[in-house]
Amino acid sequence: MTDSVTDRATDDDAVLTRVEGRAGHLTLNRPRALNALTHPMVTRIAETLTAWERDPAVAAVVIDGAGERGLCAGGDIRLIHQDVTSGGGAASRAFWRDEYTLNIRIARYPKPYVALMDGIVMGGGVGISAHGGVRIVTERSRVAMPETTIGFVPDVGGTHLLARAPGELGTHLALTGASVGAADALRCGLADHVVPSGQLPALTRDLAVEPVADVLPRYAVQAPAGTLDGHREWIDQCYAADTVEEIVDRLMAVGEPAAKEAAETLLAKSPTALKVTLAAVRGARTLGSLERVMEQEYRVSCAALSRPDLIEGIRAQVIDKDRRPRWTPAALAEVTEAEVAGFFVPPIDGDLRLGDAP
């Protein structure tokens, strides 16, 4: 999720659509806000996907972001802060219902859905890209689910994706909110192909006249070396612990500078968000389908609206920008099992029911 700034894009042009040859193009068009998602943008994307699914002239869909900084840094969290402080969270719940439904739609889309994950791709940006059938990263890509930083929990299917990463890599990324580059995005199952950023315009032009399967081999390159595999031993050992407290203790004791740094990162996050995130990722491993996991995520997201840490995290990061959140409770030991369990009960306006996976 991202801090949004005022952007000249209106609801009508915040998502640009066009058809070039055999490809339909969706461009998120709030570059000053790093293409932060709003409810009207989600609606626009969903309506366009419906139209193109029915249009035999559109053989593939391509999504990218305007500007030079990235595809999308997530949902517009200022709007969540405004909604909770003035409206009780109803607008946020409605947004998530439609956003998560869109994420499922992308995952099940019957035509090739090509996500150009260049630059920053975080939070809701992962939701509109990493569930697609063709996920392209570049040397500039930084992919992350950074929700624990604002007292929130990975959503948009993020717990599903991270739960399926090798070993405990997904747990590490979910708890710390760390971003990864192209190679590690492929390693963790968040992307499929690497294409140099300078080649994206040519790839896009070719998609107008040729099938995706014919175009990709001309542009895809071998991923550069990643970093996560070099840390797998301590990541798998430490994050296999049953509790966040034990994870932190293991990270501190293992004797690796990077592990100690990870522990210090965790200790700065919302204790409640960390414990709920661990439970959500572990739960996602047993739920199976993306649909069931996202129904769980909807429960957790809605519960966060009535807890203090989400609003406090947004305040500290993007409203006052003091970067000094005051978490409640302030320590991991003070977050009870009952409090964590409370995040997984049906919300006041009912569960999100996404049907069954095909």
Assess whether pLDDT exceeds 50 at residue 207: yes
Convert the pLDDT of each residue in 14-53 to its tens digit: 999 999 999 999 999 999 999 999 999 999 999 999 999 9
**pLDDT value, residue 10:** 62
Report the alpha-carbon distance of residue 53 to residue 113 in Å, rounded: 11
pLDDT in tens, 304-319: 999 999 999 999 999 9
- Confidence check: pLDDT of 356 > 90: no
Pair 240, 168: CB distance under 8 Å: yes
**Residues forming the active site:** 75, 124, 147, 155
Residue 144, φ and ψ in degrees, nearest 5? -160, 155
Query: What per-residue confidence (pLDDT) applies to 12?
Result: 72
Residue, of 227 and 356, whose pLDDT is higher: 227
**Tokens read off for 172:** 């590490």
Give the span between the Cα atoms of 44 and 94, in whole angstroms: 15
Report the interhelical angle of 232-239 vs 244-253 (nearest 10°): 140
**Is residue 266 predicted with pLDDT exceeding 50?**
yes
pLDDT of residue 26: 98
pLDDT digits (tens, 9 = 90+) for 54-92: 999 999 999 999 999 999 999 999 999 999 999 889 999
Please compute the mean of the pLDDT values over residues 253-262 and round it to a whole number: 97
pLDDT bracket for residue 209 (50, 70, 90): very high
Kindly list the distances between the CA atom of residue 162 and the CA atoms of 89, 120, 213, 335, 343, in Å, as whole numbers in the listed order. 27, 18, 27, 23, 19
Q: Which residue has the tokens 């204790």?
A: 271
CA distance linking residue 269 with residue 334, whole number of Å: 14
Q: What is the 3-state secondary structure (H, E, C) of the chain?
A: CECCCCCCCCCCCCEEEEEECCEEEEEECCHHHCCCECHHHHHHHHHHHHHHHCCCCCCEEEEEECCCCEEECCEEHHHHHHHHHHHCCHHHHHHHHHHHHHHHHHHCCCCCEEEEECEEEECHHHHCCCCCCEEEECCCCEEECCHHHHCCCCCCCHHHHHHCCCCCHHHHHHHHCCCECHHHHHHCCCCCEECCHHHHHHHHHHHCCCCHHHHHHHHCECCCCCCHHHHHHHHHHHHCCCCHHHHHHHHHHCCCHHHHHHHHHHHCCCHHHHHHHHHHHHHHHHHCCHHHHHHHHHHHHHHHHCCHHHHHHHHHHHHCCCCCCCCCCCCHHHCCHHHHHHHHCCCCCCCCCCCCCC
**Arithmetic mean of pLDDT, 158-173:** 98
What integer pLDDT is reported at residue 3 of this predicted model? 45
Q: Could you read off the pLDDT of 95-129 as tens digits, one per residue?
A: 999 999 999 999 999 999 999 999 999 999 999 99
pLDDT of residue 88: 86
User: Taking the model in full, what pTM does it have?
Assistant: 0.95
- Residue 162 predicted with pLDDT over 50: yes
Average pLDDT, the chain: 95
pLDDT per residue as tens digits for the range 218-250: 999 998 889 999 999 999 999 999 999 999 999
